[in-house]
Structure 1
C-alpha cells in the first residue's frame, strides 16, 4: 500500500506544482493543497502513516540541508544585524499578541503566554522552496531570513523551557540552555575542523558514491544531535549544509542531494502537510480560527518586516522577509503537542491551532510571491528540479 501511496503522491505533487506555476504561484503551494485533496479530509486516497511521516521528516531535513549548501558563509556573517532584528521582531509581536488574545478568551496567564510563544515560532522549510523558485535564496533577504530562523528557533525553545519551569513542568532551565550552547559550540567546531576531514577520508573509500554518502551522514548526525539537545532537526541539517558549503565537495554534494531530495523525499514532505490536515469539528470554533489566523499572520508579518526595515531593508524587501517568516510549520506543531501533553492547551484549542498552523503554511508562498515580485532585483538563478 505504501508503494501505491508514494506513486500517487509523486504524480499528484508534480502535476499540482506545475499547475501552480502556470497560475503564477510558487509550485510549493500546489503541492500543499494537493495533499489536502489526497488526504482523508477530501478524497481519502492517502492516509497519514508512521512510515510516511518518517519519509516526510527526511524530506524537510534534506530541504534545509540544501539551503545550507547554497548559503554563502561570508554573506551569512554580514547578515547578523538584520537576522537579529528580524528574528526578535518576529518573536515579540506574536508573543504579545497571543498573550493579549489568550486573556480575552479566558485563558490563564501561563496558557496565554504559551499561546504567544507558539505563535512566535517560525519554520522556514516552506519558505526555502519559495525563495528558491523566486531566485531569492542567495540574496541578502534570503540570508537574513535563514539567520533569523536560527535565532527564532533557539530563543523560542529557551523561552518555552523557561515558561514550563514556572508552570510546573519537569524542566531544568539551566540544563536546557546548556544543552543548546553545547550543541552550537560543538556544531561550529565539528563543522570547521571535522567535516572537511571526514569528507576527504570517507570520500576516498574504494566504493561507489562515497562523497554523497558521507555528506548525508554528516547531515543526519547534525540533525539528530540538534533534536537531541532541543534544537529543531532542521537547524542541525542547515548547519551541516553550511559546513559542507565551504569545502571543495560543495558542488558534487549539492547536485546529487538535490536529485535525491526532489525526486522523492521533498514532494512527500510538502504533500504530507496537507494529508495530515484534520478538519472535522472545526465549524464550532470557526470564529477562534479566524481570529488566531489573522493574528498569526499579521503579527509575524509586521514584526519581522519592522525588524528588517530597522536593519536597513526597503519596504518591499522588508515585507518579503516578513512574509517568509509567517509559516509556523512543524516547529509550532511540536510546541502545540507539548502544550497538549502539559495541559496548557485543551483538545479543542489544540485542534484549532493545528488548523491555524496549516493555514499560515499555505498562505506563505503566495504572500512571498506578491512582495518579492514588486520590482525587486532577482538574485542569481539557481538550478531547480
Structure 2
C-alpha cells in the first residue's frame, strides 16, 4: 500500500473530524472523544489509512504551544505571581501523593521498581489541554479558577522537566545535576529577556504598525514560536517559553486582538493532537494492560479530585471552587505520554508499562472530558446552561 501523502492525511483527518464532530454533537457527546476515536480508527491499529502518525504527533505539539501562549495573553503578571505562591504548596504535596500512588499500582501488578517509579512520574501531572481547553475565560469566577489552575500546571511543568532530565540521564545511571541547575537558572534570564524584548522592540513595532493586521499576526506568531524554541534550547520546555511570551505581551493594548487571531490556528493543531493520541495507541496491547489500566485510570479519576479538593481547601479556597479545580485536573497529562515514550526509548521500561501509561492517559482524558463537559461550565458544553466561552 503506497504511503499516505501529507495532503491525503489532512484530508482524512479533517474531513473525518468534521463528520465525527457532527455525529458527536448530534449525539450530545464531547468533541475531544470523537477526535481520539477517529485517530484509533484511521491509525495503524485499525484501518491504517493515516500512516505518518509520528509526523502528525510532532505537528500537533504546536497546538499546546499556542494554547499556553493564548493563556499567557489572558493573564496579568501580578496575578500569576500571587497564585504561584499558593500553587507551590498544593503542587508539592499532590505530586508526592500521585507519585506514591502510581508506584504502588505498578508494584501491585508486577512491574519492576524502575517501571513503577516511571508510572508514578506519569501519574503526577494533569493535562494542560483538557484543563485549559474546557475552561471558560469570560466569567469572573472562572478567571480566578483559571489563574489557580495555571499556577498548578506551571508548577507541574517544572516537575515534569526535572523528571524528563532524570530519564534522559537513565542510560548513564547518573543524574546530570549541572544541566538541571543551568535549566532552572535560565528561567529568570528568559523572563528578563522576554520583558525587555516586549518593552523595547515589540511594543514600539506594534504601536507603529498596528493597522496592518497581517503584520500583527506574523509578529505575534514569530514571538510565540521564537521564545518557545529559545526556552527549549536553554533546557526548559517550549510550553513554558510560549507562556512567558504570552504573559509578557499581556499588557499590550492589542493583546486580546492577538488572542482572537490565533485561536483558529490553535484549534487546528489541537485537533491533530487528539487524533494522533488515538492513532499512536496499539490496540493489540489491550488484553495485556486492560486490568492495570482500568485500575490506574479509576484511581486517578477518583483520587485526584479528592486530593486537590482537600489541599485547595487548606489554602482557603471555597469548597465549590476546590471541587471544580479538582475535577478539571482529574486526569494525567501530555507530559505523561512524553515520559512513557522517553522511558521506553531509554529502555528503562518495557512495552507493557509504556502502553499502560498511554491507556491510562486516554481513559482519563475521555472520562474527565465527560465529567467536565456534562457537569461544569465550559465552552463546548452540550447543555445550554453550562456553555460558557
TM-score band, normalised by shorter chain: 0.7 to 0.9
Tell me the alpha carbon deviations over residues 3-31 of structure 1, each in whole angstroms, 9 at most, x when there is no partner: 13212322332443454455555433333
Question: Could you list the runs of 5+ residues in structure 1 that have no partner in the other structure?
Answer: none
Cα distance, 1:34 vs structure 2: 2.9
Q: CA separation in 2, counterparts of 1:57 and 1:160?
A: 17
The match for 1:194 among 197, 201, 211 is 197
Identify the range of structure 1 (308-317 vs 200-209) with the bigger mean alpha-carbon deviation. Answer: 200-209
User: So what's the TM-score if we normalise by structure 2?
Assistant: 0.84
Does residue 289 (structure 1) correspond to residue 286 (structure 2)? The answer is no
User: 5 Å matches for 1:99-110?
Assistant: 99-110=103-114
What SS class does the counterpart of residue 135 from structure 2 fall into?
A: helix
Q: Return the match for 1:254 from 259, 268, 273.
A: 259
The match for 1:185 is 188
What CA distance in whole angstroms lies between the structure 2 residues aligned with 1:44 and 1:134?
A: 41
1:28–1:246 distance in 2 versus 1, CA, 3 Å: farther
TM-aligned CA deviation for residue 33 of structure 1: 2.9
> Which residue pairs with 1:93 in the alignment?
97
- SS for the counterpart of 2:191 is helix
1:237 to 237, 242, 255: 242
Change (3 A) 1:137 1:254: farther
**What corresponds to 1:270 in structure 2?**
274
Alpha-carbon separation, structure 2, partners of 1:268 and 1:163: 27
Q: CA RMSD in A?
A: 3.2
How many residue pairs are counted as aligned between the two chains?
Answer: 377
* Structure 2 Cα separation of the partners of residues 266 and 163 of structure 1: 27
User: What TM-score comes out, normalization by structure 1 length?
Assistant: 0.85
Gaps of 5+ in 2: 379-384
In the TM superposition, what is the alpha-carbon distance from 1:95 to its structure 2 partner? 0.7
1:228 aligns with 2:243: no
Contact 1:14/1:31, CA 8 A, preserved across alignment: no
The one of 140, 150, 153 aligned to 1:149: 153
| CA distance, structure 2, for counterparts of residue 166 and residue 56 of structure 1 | 27
Contact 1:124 1:327 in 2 (8 A): no
Q: Select the residue among 29, 51, 68 that pairs with 2:72.
A: 68
Match of 2:382 in 1: none
Residue 44 of structure 1 deviates from its aligned partner by 3.3
Deviation at 1:149, TM superposition (A): 0.5
1:328 aligns with 2:332: yes
Separation in 2 of the partners of 1:87 and 1:147? 9
In structure 2, what is the equivalent of residue 355 of structure 1?
Answer: 359
* Cα displacement string for residues 223-282 of structure 1 (whole angstroms, at most 9, x for unaligned residues): 2233334433222212211121111230231122123333x3232223222222221132
